């Protein structure tokens, strides 16, 4: 099929920035940060939907522009260049940490580990049949790159859903035997979420959020999502693990819908809160890179030990650590914007547009 197929023509329409979708993106980013501290009660909730929501929203705003070489170059600049910057940042931050704590003699071995992890781009450790070191949260960027490639290719066929299902299944099945570099298989697997997000946009399936129908759908989605939380289901995208079968997918879609519907309500009823998440959601690329650096390098147990000395344990300590992890990437981006503008432009391709103080 050529670039002139109907699907490609529809998807090339100009993007419209929807405030509540940025709010949802911001909420999802906070959930991803919160899910990296091994807190069982938090993970039981956020793992049901947070990563699938990111892929669904990425598909929602997907568009086909230009030739394949132009498309690949554009997506590489958007995703692979920040990935390279993030891996380089991890290397630099690790050197600084090792220097501070007096571990410089051990740094060459750590540098080799980081380089290997960067080349594999895996979100978690794999031991068989090859030892694969993990790079952490940055896995999402190459996975999304490959997912976009699969989606574009599928949209240029007569049966895009069939292609997506086949590729997604191939990604899941092959991951049972070997883990390929740069999170290729998670990208293949999540092309399904990208495609479904794309279909939702094309068919205007969430235009009814403020209607009675939207309330009914939202209520049903909420019940399904709560049940999935209770059952402990999850689509673990980073490992392509499906805990709960079809119910896990139902929970991912239901939780994503609830997050978007809640963001729609926040935008209209709780503007100050919505403005923060909206702003945060427009900076998720840069936030992800800096969060991945800190998550890889900094032993957060030190901070927990420091808080414990002052009597801050349990939930209060978790809240402090979460708040620091949510807010510090914003400070890091501000510093990079001041000192290294070219890097800032890579991490923040478009300056965030503040949500107006009042709705409408």
Check pLDDT > 60 for residue 3: no
Check pLDDT > 50 for residue 35: yes
* Phi, psi of 134, rounded to the nearest 5 degrees: -95, 140
pLDDT on residue 122: 93
For residue 357, is it within any domain?
A: no
Check pLDDT > 60 for residue 8: no
For residue 280, is it within any domain?
A: yes
The residue that leads in pLDDT, 89 or 12, is: 89
Q: How far apart are CA 258 and CA 281, in angstroms?
A: 17
For residue 98, is it within any domain?
A: yes
For the chain, the distance separating the N- and C-terminal CA atoms, rounded to the nearest angstrom, is: 42
For residue 175, is it within any domain?
A: yes
- Predicted confidence band of residue 359 (pLDDT cuts 50, 70, 90): low
- Predicted confidence band of residue 2 (pLDDT cuts 50, 70, 90): very low
Residue with tokens 């002052």: 310
| 71-91 pLDDT, tens digit each | 999 999 999 999 999 999 999
Check pLDDT > 50 for residue 11: no
| 171-206 pLDDT, tens digit each | 999 999 999 999 999 999 999 999 999 999 998 888
pLDDT on residue 254: 96
The residue that leads in pLDDT, 3 or 302, is: 302
Q: What is the total count of domains within the chain?
A: 1
Check pLDDT > 50 for residue 12: no
Check pLDDT > 50 for residue 285: yes
For residue 250, is it within any domain?
A: yes
- Percent of the chain clearing pLDDT 90 (strictly above): 74
For residue 353, is it within any domain?
A: no
pLDDT on residue 4: 41
pLDDT on residue 210: 78
- Alpha helices, DSSP H only, in the chain? 6-11, 19-34, 40-46, 50-60, 68-75, 81-101, 107-120, 140-155, 160-174, 184-189, 191-202, 212-231, 246-269, 271-281, 284-297, 301-308, 315-339, 341-347
pLDDT on residue 360: 59
For residue 354, is it within any domain?
A: no
pLDDT on residue 13: 40
Domain residues for 240?
6-347
| 247-281 pLDDT, tens digit each | 999 999 999 999 999 999 999 899 899 999 999 99
For residue 355, is it within any domain?
A: no
pLDDT on residue 17: 61
- Predicted confidence band of residue 315 (pLDDT cuts 50, 70, 90): confident
- As a whole number, mean pLDDT of residues 146-167 equals 97
Kindly report the CA angle at 223 between 240 and 197, in degrees rounded to 5? 45
């Amino acid at each position: 099929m050529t670039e002139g197929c109907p699907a490609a023509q529809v998807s090339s329409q100009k993007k419209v920035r929807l405030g509540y979708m940025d709010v949802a993106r911001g909420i999802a980013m906070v959930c991803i940060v919160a899910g990296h501290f091994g807190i069982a009660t938090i993970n039981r909730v956020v793992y049901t939907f947070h990563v699938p929501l990111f892929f669904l929203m990425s598909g929602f705003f997907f568009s086909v522009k230009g030739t394949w070489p132009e498309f690949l170059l554009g997506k590489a600049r958007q995703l692979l260049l920040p990935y390279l910057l993030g891996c380089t940042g991890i290397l630099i931050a690790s050197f600084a940490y090792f220097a501070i704590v007096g571990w410089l003699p051990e740094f060459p071995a750590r540098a080799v580990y980081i380089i290997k992890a960067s080349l594999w781009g895996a979100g978690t450790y794999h031991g068989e049949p090859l030892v694969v070191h993990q790079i952490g949260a940055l896995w999402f960027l190459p996975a999304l790159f490959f997912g976009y490639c699969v989606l574009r290719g599928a949209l240029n066929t007569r049966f895009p859903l069939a292609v997506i299902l086949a590729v997604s299944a191939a990604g899941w099945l092959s991951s049972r035997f070997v883990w390929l570099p740069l999170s290729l298989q998670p990208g293949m697997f999540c092309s399904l979420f990208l495609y479904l997000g794309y279909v939702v946009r094309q068919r205007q399936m969430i235009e009814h959020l403020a209607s009675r129908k939207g309330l009914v759908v939202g209520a049903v989605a909420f019940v399904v999502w709560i049940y999935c939380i209770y059952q402990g289901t999850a689509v673990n995208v980073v490992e392509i693990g499906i805990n709960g079968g079809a119910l896990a997918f139902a929970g991912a879609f239901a939780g994503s819908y609830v997050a978007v519907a809640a963001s729609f309500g926040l935008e209209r009823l709780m503007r100050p809160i919505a403005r923060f998440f909206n702003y945060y959601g427009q900076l998720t690329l840069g936030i992800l890179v800096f969060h991945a650096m800190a998550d890889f390098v900094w032993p957060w147990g030190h901070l927990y030990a420091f808080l414990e000395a002052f009597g801050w344990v349990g939930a209060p300590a978790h809240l402090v650590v979460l708040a620091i992890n949510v807010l510090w990437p914003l400070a890091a981006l501000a510093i990079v914007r001041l000192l290294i503008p070219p890097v800032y432009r890579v991490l923040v391709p478009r300056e965030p547009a503040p949500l107006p103080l009042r709705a409408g």
